[in-house]
């Protein structure tokens, strides 16, 4: 169905707004917050593209993206807190 593709394209366009915040953010915590949201939006866009094209390999990639984004965010947060 074409709606999944349209929604995926909107999600990818929303990613550019977050990318602007990643480059622009005043502090490191702002950048990391935007990067975490970027991971989630990309994972959801991959789910939508997988539903559109009918290939389930994209869903595996989406799972890995969601998990690795979490691990990276927690590591950077620990580092910013000064307890690594």
Partner 1 sequence: MVRIVIDILLAVGVFFTFIGVLGVHRMPDVFGRLQASTCIATMGTLSVVLAGVIYGVSSGSEPMTYIKLAIILLLVMGTNPVSNHALCKAAYKMGVKPAKDLVIDDYKEDDPE
Q: What is the binding site for partner 1 (CB under 8 A)?
A: 1, 3-4, 7, 10-11, 14, 17-18, 20-21, 27-30, 32-34, 36-37, 40-41, 43-44, 47-48, 51, 56, 59-60, 62-63, 66-67, 69-70, 73-74, 77-78, 80-82
Structure tokens at 80: 């910013």
By the 8 A CB rule, do 42 and 15 touch? yes
By the 8 A CB rule, do 48 and 11 touch? yes
Residue 65 CB, shortest distance to partner 1, in Å, is 10
By the 8 A CB rule, do 22 and 33 touch? no
Q: How far apart are CA 24 and CA 7, in angstroms?
A: 26
Residue 42 CB, shortest distance to partner 1, in Å, is 11
Residue 40 CB, shortest distance to partner 1, in Å, is 5
Structure tokens at 48: 């939508």
């Amino acid at each position: 169905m074409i709606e999944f593709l349209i929604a995926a394209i909107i999600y990818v366009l929303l990613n550019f707004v977050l990318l602007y915040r990643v480059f622009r953010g005043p502090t490191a915590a702002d950048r990391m917050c935007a990067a975490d949201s970027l991971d989630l939006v990309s994972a959801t866009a991959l789910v939508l593209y997988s539903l559109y094209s009918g290939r389930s390999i994209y869903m595996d990639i989406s799972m890995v993206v969601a998990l690795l984004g979490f691990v990276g965010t927690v590591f950077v947060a620990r580092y910013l807190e000064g307890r690594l």
